[in-house]
Amino acid sequence: MDALTAKNMMAYVAQKMVASEPVLTKYDQAIGDGDHGIGMERGFKAVAELLDSDYQPEDVSKLLLKIGSTMMATMGGASGAIFGTLFRSGAKSIKGATELDTATLSTFLAGGLQGVYDRGGAKPGDKTMIDALVAAVEKSEQLSGSLTDTLPAIAQAAAQGVEATKDMIATTGKAKTLGERSLGHPDPGAMSMAFILQYMNEYATEQVTA
């Protein structure tokens, strides 16, 4: 996938993330402070504006870097820093990439994960977006083939990561104060992570309904 197609894919992702605000809000109301959906909506609205313009990304890395910077500048909250860092660190790990394929996506996700570790200090099992991201990274590293072949499984692995957060007790972020009462609820940031990959998958495999 070239940079222009990746731009169009991310425009689709941004539009779908904006539309996901109510469900993300609902889950952050259960275990957080209820602002996660609004934050993601604000960030991805700004991303959608960028990508609906005549902005011409030089390459895939620059595109993803710009998306991360846009999110960081507009979102605020823990997830502004976390998702902004995911895109920015991931983009830096694929510097100069002119194509987004399974290998570059895998490197992007792994680089983004490392950035999130460095920035936020959380680890797998802490009931955060890391639990969806780690599952996606691990799956992507096992796979080869075109994005159309591999994105369904990568997105599904992330969704399973979200499911797994239901059995975790939050040890970081706003949900931490809930302790065992966070059990049974999925983590909203993990859900956002899985949605991003799911919407990339929809675009890449042309299951676009909107």
| CA pair distance 156, 172, nearest whole angstrom | 25
Residue 19 CB, nearest distance to ligand ADP (Å)? 17
Residues in contact with Mg ion by CB under 5 A are 28, 32-33, 35-36
Terminal Cα-to-Cα distance of the chain (whole angstroms):
21
Decide: 67 and 60 in contact? Cβ < 8 Å: no
Q: Tell me whether residue 100 or residue 193 sits nearer to ligand ADP (CB atom).
A: 193
Residue among 77, 64, 63 nearest 25 (CA): 77
Q: Tell me whether residue 27 or residue 108 sits nearer to Mg ion (CB atom).
A: 27
Which partner in ligand ADP, Mg ion, none is near 186 (CB below 5 to 8 A by kind)?
none
Residue among 30, 70, 45, 189 nearest 122 (CA): 189
Q: Tell me whether residue 32 or residue 111 sits nearer to Mg ion (CB atom).
A: 32
* Residue nearest Mg ion (C-beta atom): 32
Decide: 202 and 12 in contact? Cβ < 8 Å: yes
Q: Tell me whether residue 19 or residue 38 sits nearer to Mg ion (CB atom).
A: 38
Residue 133 CB, nearest distance to ligand ADP (Å)? 9
Residue among 157, 88, 146 nearest 116 (CA): 88
Residues in contact with ligand ADP by CB under 6 A are 28, 32-33, 35-36, 39, 77-79, 82, 116, 120-122, 128-130, 172-174, 187-190
| CA pair distance 25, 20, nearest whole angstrom | 9
Residue 116 CB, nearest distance to Mg ion (Å)? 16
